[in-house]
Amino acid sequence: MANNEPNIPVNTPSSPPPSKKSYFQRKKEYWGSTQNRKRAIAGYTFIAPAYLLFVVFLFIPVIWAFYLSFTSYTIFTPGEIVGINNYQRLMNDNAFRNALWNTTYYALMVIPLNISISLCLALLVNRKMRGMNFFRAAYYVPVVTSIIAASMIWMWLYDSNNGLINYVLIQLGFNPQSWLNDPDLALPALALMRVWKGVGWNMVIFLAGLQSIPKTLYEAASIEGAGRWMSFWKITWPLLAPTTFFVFVMATISTFQTFGEIYAMTSGGPVQSTTTLVYLIFVYGFERYEMGYASAIAFVLFFIILTLTLINMFITQKKVNYDL
């Protein structure tokens, strides 16, 4: 995508020349060579530690959890295989439906706000000015702050009796609110904090995307008489598409997996208004020890995220590779 040499065409034909040999023939040929084998061994040895960790701590547990989702396993009893009972129970579980809605509502609040604000910030800090690095660092600080520490600070800010936000509201003549104790406000309040916490990360990615757009395009556009707004819509936005896609996918995954701030700030309340899917998994798995059922919820969440990512990929695939 990134190319600072406009004379060289960016787009190269992507389909490889048709091969005369079959896949297996080629493989056989490759592994027949001693040199190739040795290279491969060296290569696999290098990636082995990472893969081993991945397999032991991620891949096997995931497969195991999938198996558990068909059992009545509690951590004290092995449990029996119950077929799809856990999944059937999900269909009629109000707590699950409520958590699914909360998670979707939360994502709908966080993702658009997060992406638009981080893009604006990236555009703001993408210029050469004295002290710009300070601002870049400042916007990034929330990202490296521990979620629990940040949650504590926001709990003070949101405190209904002595919090800074209510103090400001009262000074401005508004009614104070019970931010984290009002079922209608608690989730939006958490979403706001999440946006604050997350924009720095996306800003940095957008910044990288912005800096890879060839300057010459803007020069050409301004010679043609395009204003800044026109340049943004016709150059920046389309060329940022792969970055936006990446940011969107990552933001979707991370907001659907929100847990830390909910655990620290609201424990899923009031009246389950901030119980998201991951928090519900925690409640069933680690408070009630219904690991089988909790695993079933985890897999539903997995398929939701997978589907969203596939849809994203499908929609954006044609548009992502913008031809110059």
Name the site residues for another protein (rule: CB under 8 A).
35, 38-39, 41-42, 45, 48-49, 52, 74-77, 159-161, 166, 170, 175-176, 178, 180-183, 267, 269-272, 283, 286-289
* Nearer to another protein (CB atom), residue 67 or residue 286: 286
* Nearer to another protein (CB atom), residue 248 or residue 284: 284
Nearest distance, CB of residue 288 and another protein, angstroms: 5
Nearest distance, CB of residue 85 and another protein, angstroms: 11
97-116: b (≥16 Cβ within 10 Å) or e: ebbbebbeebbebbbebbbe
* Nearer to another protein (CB atom), residue 79 or residue 238: 79
Q: Alpha-carbon distance 273 to 261, whole Å?
A: 14
Nearest distance, CB of residue 289 and another protein, angstroms: 6
Nearest distance, CB of residue 52 and another protein, angstroms: 6
* Nearer to another protein (CB atom), residue 22 or residue 92: 92
Nearest distance, CB of residue 254 and another protein, angstroms: 24
* Nearer to another protein (CB atom), residue 3 or residue 182: 182
